Amino acid sequence: MPERIFIFDTTLRDGEQSPGASMNIEEKIRVARQLAKLGVDIIEAGFPISSEGEFEAVKAIAEEVKGPVICALARANREDIDRAWKAISKAERPRIHTFIATSDIHLKYKLRISREEVLERLVEAVSYAKRYTDDVEFSPEDATRTDLDFLCKVVETAIEAGATTVNIPDTVGYSVPEEFGRIIRTLKERVPNIEKAIISVHCHNDLGLAVANSIAAIKNGARQVECTINGIGERAGNAALEEIVMILKVRKDLCPYYTGINTQEIYPTSRLVSAITGLPVQPNKAIVGANAFAHESGIHQDGVLKEKLTYEIMTPESVGIPTSHIVLGKHSGRHALKERLRALGYELTPEELNVVFERFKKVADQKKVVYDEDLIALVEEEIFRVPDKYRLLNLSVHSGTVSIPTATVQMEVDGKVVMEAGFGIGPVDAVYKTITKITGFKGMLLDYTVASITGGTDAQGEVRVRIQEDGITAIGQGADTDILVASAKAFVNALNKLEYLKKRKLRGI
């Protein structure tokens, strides 16, 4: 009989710790709602003690999102646990997740305490959390570099103190599948009270083995997997939720387990997280990448046309990738647009739909067809943006083989219209120097990338930029059939996000 694997999604906590991927409260709630629609069992909503903004986001998710367990992270101390509980106390199903490092490396250099003190602290923390809720998870940080005998003692002690889930993190992505599986198997065999708790795993991808380690753990007794959408997270990221779920679904012959995930929501969730965080999904990314179901080789094309199973081990539809990429054109109406957006995971108010429809018509007039990717970029740009200090009104660029690139930019700054002109070594440089002159930006442009959202010469171009000022990093996105306009939109979007993050920093959030 297949066994259930619980999916613990930490996109909003560990995933948000990716450089530049910070989300505001509204964005976190949007992602949390989509995760609930996806069918994850537990949402780790954040680390409430870390900032006031983080606390408010976790609290809002706990109050508004129903279905999954809502979990808050806390270090092994009373202040963290009190704050975590205050944030999630109104959740339909709250969980406190407390942790302390257990490896000798961390004990010696970070905590500077003994193993005995670690055991005392974890008992106090788990017992204290247990006063608030029966659902308590404990993690021994850096478990895979912890002495195995001591790790067994730590896990046994945590369960005795009341932990109902014990999570074994490969915190720095150090382990390999055979070794990690052996650690989980050893805990199953040597911890006398292990059956009183669910074994969870949390794998990082520093050696590219997070998913493989997670699967090895499942095969050796783990029944909860901690993961993120698109595998985002600190450093090289976390185990990718979509990969773990589809491995279990596709390879039932070797992995007789199941999850509660609605796999048709995988792709919409992936696109939403990418759009909100500004972290693009690489084209060759498993399951959700643009090339995941693309076939260019003649031999492959011939095989797929005759029988999809020749080169496709799963269907695009099974993970929510639309079967038809040609969806809408200039003759399409509001109802068709609304239904397509609903299929992509967007529930808009009538007012929001009107805004999107007006912009859709303009794009449709410029293109023969409007693709799903166009719609996603359009909705994210028109509806889900941070409050604007800056707004691009008009842009005119003159450039050529013998002329000096010149840009004239008209913007609205705090409601006041400002216009400037400037030169550059290229048209984009001219645009950015002029916008910099208007806004007074004193930081650096760290990254500038351009991609075609769809095929064809009439395709919308999508520009992503990463900027930094005073140690604060922001990512901006812009899409337009004119790549210079898209570039300006992306820069302005990044500047607005930078202003938002500056205000949060000033408020101590």
User: What does the pLDDT look like over 282-295, one tens digit per residue?
Assistant: 888 999 987 887 65
Name the token pair of 498.
């930078």
- Identify whether residues 399 and 258 lie together within a single domain: no
Which tens digit of pLDDT belongs to each residue from 296-338? 445 544 564 566 666 678 888 899 887 544 457 777 788 888 8
Task: State whether 308 and 377 are in the same domain.
Answer: no
pLDDT given at position 296:
47
Together in a domain, 406 and 352: no
Q: Based on the structure, what is the number of domains in the chain?
A: 4
* Among candidate residues 426, 15, 432, the one with its CA nearest the CA of residue 205: 15
Q: Identify whether residues 120 and 216 lie together within a single domain.
A: yes
The verdict on 193 and 338 lying in the same domain is no
- Position 282 in a domain: no
199 and 272 in a single domain? The answer is yes
- Kindly state whether residues 308 and 327 are assigned to the same domain: no
pLDDT for the residue numbered 412: 95
Give residue 308's pLDDT.
66
Q: Three-state DSSP class for 284? A: coil
Residues spanned by the domain of 237: 3-277
- Residue where a domain terminates, one of 382, 414, 431: 382
Residue 308 within a domain = yes
Q: Is residue 93 part of a domain?
A: yes
Torsion angles phi and psi, residue 385, rounded to 5? -120, 155
Answer positive or negative: Cα dihedral of 282, 250, 31, 321: positive
In a shared domain, residues 245 and 377: no
pLDDT of residue 501: 78
Which CATH number belongs to the domain containing residue 445 in this structure? 3.30.160.270
On whether residue 284 sits in a domain, the answer given is no
The identity of residue 143, as a single letter, is A
Residue 438 placed within a domain: yes
Residue 47 within a domain? yes
Torsion 115-120-123-125 (CA) sign = negative
Q: What is the CATH number of the domain that holds 207?
A: 3.20.20.70
Are 353 and 342 in contact, with CB atoms under 8 Å apart?
no
Same domain, 343 and 199: no
Low-confidence ranges of the chain (pLDDT < 50): 296-297, 300-301, 304, 324-326
Q: Which two three-digit tokens encode residue 297? A: 């080789």
Indicate whether 338 and 480 sit together in one domain. Answer: no
Residue 247 pLDDT:
98
- What per-residue confidence (pLDDT) applies to 326? 41
Q: What's the pLDDT at 399?
A: 92
65 vs 8, 259, 475, CA distance in Å? 15, 20, 27
Residue 488 lies in a domain: yes
Give a yes or no: residue 283 inside a domain.
no
Do 433 and 500 share a domain, yes or no?
yes
The verdict on 29 and 76 lying in the same domain is: yes
Look at residue 264 in the predicted model and tell me its pLDDT: 95
Q: Which amino acid is it at 426?
A: G
